[in-house]
Copies of this chain bind each other. A is one copy, B any other.
Amino acid sequence: MRAIHLFGAGDVRVVDAPDPALRRPTDAVVRVVRSCICGSDLHPFHNAERDEAGHPIGHEFVGVVEEVGSEVATVRPGDFVIAPFVVSCGVCEFCRAGLQTSCVRGGWWGDTEGSGSSGGQGEAVLVPLADGTLVPVPGITADTDERMLASLLTLSDVYGTGWHAALTGGVSQGSTVTVIGDGAVGLLAVLAARQQGAERIVLMGRHATRTDLGRDFGATDVVAARGEEGIEAVRDLTDGGSQVVLECVGMMPAYEQALGVVRPGGTISRVGVPQYTDGPVGRVLFSRNVTLTGGVAPTRAYIDELLPGVLDGSVDPGRVFDTVLPLEQGPEGYAAMDERRALKVMLRP
């Protein structure tokens, strides 16, 4: 099959890779219908060490089950499925608690040396622990219209991640929320905050086409300024600080911005993968009783709740995909996202 592999910083290529084949009775093989490139894929795209052998990449996909192992009970060949961005067993303490990202048997896509799972950016994927991982969606096929496929694909990661931000951030009816970041996750955190009852949603972002989409999703205010100037603007808008801050970037300046705009007693929820190890964590949080929460989103836990709104069209999270490319043009997709020409790129195998 064809699949995107990463060979080092700035070097992704579409290569011939072995066709996935069942290894364990709990595996499934899924033929990919749509996959996509994540903002978090840009981190290894920037930083990966050279790897002459190449390594599969991608962790978001929807597809059709091709084959299942003898113990797989919840999906069958022909089923359309959503694959969350982590593998999970569905039965351990953490899966049962809705924290599938801490599954004791779970793992990541493209875990070639462990479970043998493939990367999501390919024609097909070996899915370990298929019963725990995959969510079948009756009535959907590979021929369902593009817009619906796009919205279903957001349930793999970005919509669920935005939902996780708002949920762990404690958004409730009437909340004032500041969302940092106008990437796909930030925009869908706006949508999620609105769905969870937020009244005032300040979106911090500099790209007008993106923040315009953020307004469509429910942002009531947009602040383009960053740093101290951006912080001041948000503090003015929110009369001294935002009760809930959703940090959807992961870079240190975004975390610092979150610390600057949060209200005493407020909550910062982070869903952008931190690209830092140490940082301000002492009295800057403590003296104001600021809670720091969030984390890698267990999107598997949210699909059941979010799917009906996608299927009935009451929300349209797939609008974050502004570019669709054939898999063979994957490297161009990376370049477009890296250079901010594209918000989020969907790939058609």
Q: Are A270 and B286 within 8 A (Cβ)? A: yes
Which residue of the partner chain, among B94, B273, B283, B292, contacts A274 with CB atoms under 8 Å? Answer: B283
Q: Are B282 and A279 within 8 A (Cβ)? A: yes
Smallest CB separation, A65 vs chain B (Å) = 29
Contacts of A283 in B (CB 8 A): 273-274, 277
A37 to B101, CA, bound (A): 45
Q: Interface segment, A208-216, A218-226, A293-301?
A: A293-301
- A233-258 interface code vs B (CB 8 A; 1 in, 0 out): 00000000000000000000001000
A285: interface (CB < 8 Å): yes
Q: Are B282 and A277 within 8 A (Cβ)? A: yes
Which residue of the partner chain, among B102, B264, B280, B285, contacts A288 with CB atoms under 8 Å? Answer: B102
A97: interface (CB < 8 Å): yes
Chain B residue with the shortest CB-CB distance to A265: B99
A278 to B277, CA, bound (A): 10
Contacts of A101 in B (CB 8 A): 287, 289
Smallest CB separation, A243 vs chain B (Å) = 10
A291: interface (CB < 8 Å): yes
A290: interface (CB < 8 Å): yes
Contacts of A290 in B (CB 8 A): 295
Smallest CB separation, A284 vs chain B (Å) = 8
The interface on chain A, measured as residues whose beta carbon lies within 8 A of the other chain's beta carbons, has a size of 35
Which residue of the partner chain, among B94, B275, B281, B288, contacts A281 with CB atoms under 8 Å? Answer: B281
Q: Are A292 and B282 within 8 A (Cβ)? A: no
Smallest CB separation, A292 vs chain B (Å) = 4
Smallest CB separation, A199 vs chain B (Å) = 17
Contacts of A275 in B (CB 8 A): 282
A273 to B282, CA, bound (A): 8
A82 to B288, CA, bound (A): 23
Chain B residue with the shortest CB-CB distance to A94: B264
Smallest CB separation, A249 vs chain B (Å) = 13
Q: Are A285 and B289 within 8 A (Cβ)? A: no
| Known contacts A279-B278, A282-B278; is-contact A264 B296 (Cβ 8 Å) | no
Which residue of the partner chain, among B94, B288, B296, contacts A286 with CB atoms under 8 Å? Answer: B296
Q: Are A264 and B294 within 8 A (Cβ)? A: no
Smallest CB separation, A287 vs chain B (Å) = 6
Contacts of A282 in B (CB 8 A): 274-279
Contacts of A281 in B (CB 8 A): 255, 274, 276-281, 292
Q: Are A291 and B289 within 8 A (Cβ)? A: no
Contacts of A94 in B (CB 8 A): 264-265
Smallest CB separation, A96 vs chain B (Å) = 11
| Known contacts A278-B278, A279-B281, A281-B281; is-contact A296 B292 (Cβ 8 Å) | no
Which residue of the partner chain, among B99, B280, B286, B292, contacts A285 with CB atoms under 8 Å? Answer: B292
Chain B residue with the shortest CB-CB distance to A295: B289
Contacts of A276 in B (CB 8 A): 281-282
Chain A positions near chain B (C-beta within 8 angstroms): 94, 97, 99, 101-102, 168, 255, 264-265, 270, 273-296, 298
4 additional contacts, CB 8 Å, given A274-B286, A277-B284, A293-B293? A277-B281, A278-B278, A289-B293, A291-B291
